[in-house]
Amino acid sequence: MGRVRRIVLTHFHEDHVGGAQEVAALTGAEVVAHGLEAPVVRGEVPGPPPMYEDGERPLHESALRLLPRGGFDRPARVTEVSDGDVLDFGGGARVVHAPGHTDGSVGLHLPRHGVLFTGDAVAASPFDGSVLLGVLNTDRDRAVSSFGRVAALDSELVCFGHGDPVTVRAGAALREAARSYGADV
Ligand SMILES: [Zn+2]
Ligand SMILES: [Zn+2]
């Protein structure tokens, strides 16, 4: 395995944090999250639950059943970042605060390469690859406006927390999808 220096957690949800401490312990990597997520990531406070929309409660319950019994080890040390911070990789990776999926959700934008990581602010359908608003949001209205915010960024390649990346003209695909949810972009 190549040297892993940094693990950026886009938000506190278990499917994103679950293996972080294990990988950090194996590699010595730094764990990074938004300041609003860090206490949840460290396990100091419980994460706020999502506001369920149609069909989301069974989806969430089935996902939670996949968690290991007794939980998982949590990173004790988390480097806290906020909107506009630039991480030293990929020619400069800018932290983009995208609240709504969770309060401290972030994306990462690498303008030099036209690459965007959205976390769960945006997702791709597992069925047809279409670009969608993330599910299990704590605040849907904020999530829609964050969708617009990340869609406005100049990006050619977009990677999601869930679903295959969009590799061609991704920014345009995101803007079209964000508008279909009413985002002003
Ligand atoms: Zn999530
Ligand atoms: Zn997720």
Instruction: Give the residue carrying structure tokens 């345009």.
Output: 172
Mean pLDDT, the chain, integer = 95
Alpha carbon distances (Å) from 158 to 41, 77, 99, 169, 182: 25, 29, 18, 9, 20
Name the pTM for this structure: 0.94
Closest to 162 (Cα-Cα) out of 17, 58, 23, 16: 16
pLDDT score of 167: 96
Residue 87 alpha carbon to ligand 2 centre in Å: 22
Residue 33 alpha carbon to ligand 1 centre in Å: 13
Task: Mark 55-71 as b/e (b = at least 16 C-beta within 10 Å).
Answer: eeeeeeeeeeeeeeeee
Ligand closest to Cα of 66 equals 2
pLDDT score of 1: 56
Binned at pLDDT 50, 70 and 90, residue 182 comes out as very high
Residues with Cβ–ion distance below 5 A, ligand 1 = 13, 120
What tokens appear for 52 in the block? 């369920």
pLDDT score of 83: 98
